[in-house]
């Protein structure tokens, strides 16, 4: 079993929620914080479970998701190092509204519900930052609802491809090349569909001469044409 040995003070200092605390306040908080280590695919918590405290990602990544009765998964967020997880149920006393799983080897700093609430009472600026984080998450969830309600799978996939081409693409003689950051299955979870439809739509875009597909390697041959599909939809 792997033992987590990351520096708690460094993790807390680099977390937005606690950036305003003094060095002494961070040391006091670190003394009340414990470490957790998760293997790839290991559950951090499941929807409906009681919330016992705040999780802060030290290393790795955590997928936040909901699962339908039929087993279909919708990804709500992929949380990165420095981000906190499950702030809201720490305050409202409710159960976790979604599940969380490590998508790679991950280390977590954990602060109990009682200690975190006490710190927020002692340091109102921390509570204000929690509101800011929760507000940003709410905006993201509204965006997901809009996407699922008002766009097709093809439109959502094209939007992802255009964004990746613009932000992570490398110009080549054949077009703009990049690697999908997730498998077709993971991409399907993020876009609210199934893997088969992701693969089918990628093949359609390839047949239309807009992209080339080789597993997770994508070459956008016609970025203007791909972008035009979004503009036409809007």
Q: Which of 107, 126, 149 is the last residue of a domain?
A: 149
Could you tell me the CATH number of the domain that includes residue 191?
Answer: 1.10.10.10
Q: Is the pTM value of this prediction over 0.75?
A: no
CB 109 within 8 A of CB 11: yes
Name the pairing type of β-strands 43-45 and 99-102: antiparallel
pLDDT tens for the chain, residues 1 to 234: 455 578 999 999 988 888 878 888 889 889 999 999 999 999 999 999 999 999 999 999 999 998 887 778 888 888 999 999 888 888 888 899 899 999 999 999 999 999 988 888 888 888 888 787 777 777 777 777 777 777 888 998 999 999 999 999 999 999 999 999 888 888 888 888 888 889 999 999 999 999 999 989 999 999 999 999 877 766
Say yes or no: 145 and 179 in one domain.
no
Cα separation, 92 vs 51, in Å, equals: 10
- The boundaries of the domain holding residue 105 are 8-149
CB 233 within 8 A of CB 154: no
Give exposure, 152-188, as e/b (b: 16+ Cβ within 10 Å): ebebbbbbbbbebbeeebeeeeebbbbebebebebbb
Kindly report the number of other CB atoms within 10 A of residue 113's CB atom: 16
Say yes or no: 105 and 168 in one domain.
no
């Amino acid at each position: 079993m792997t033992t987590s040995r990351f520096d708690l003070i460094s993790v807390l200092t680099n977390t937005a929620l606690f950036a305003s605390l003094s060095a002494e306040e961070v040391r006091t908080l670190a003394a009340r914080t414990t470490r957790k280590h998760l293997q790839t695919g290991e559950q951090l918590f499941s929807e409906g479970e009681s919330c016992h405290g705040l999780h802060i990602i030290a290393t790795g990544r955590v997928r936040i998701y909901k699962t339908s009765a039929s087993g279909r998964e919708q990804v709500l967020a992929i949380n990165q190092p420095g981000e906190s997880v499950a702030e809201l149920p720490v305050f409202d006393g409710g159960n976790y509204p979604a599940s969380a799983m490590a998508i790679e080897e991950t280390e977590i700093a954990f602060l109990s519900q009682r200690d975190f609430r006490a710190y927020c009472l002692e340091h109102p600026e921390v509570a204000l930052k929690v509101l800011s984080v929760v507000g940003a998450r709410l905006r993201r969830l509204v965006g997901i609802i809009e996407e699922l309600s008002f766009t097709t799978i093809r439109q959502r996939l094209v939007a992802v491809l255009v964004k990746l081409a613009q932000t992570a693409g490398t110009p080549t003689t054949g077009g703009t090349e990049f690697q999908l950051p997730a498998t077709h299955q993971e991409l399907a979870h993020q876009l609210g569909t199934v893997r088969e439809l992701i693969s089918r739509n990628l093949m359609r875009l390839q047949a239309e001469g807009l992209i080339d597909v080789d597993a997770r390697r994508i070459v956008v041959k016609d970025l203007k044409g791909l972008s035009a599909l979004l503009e036409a939809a809007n």
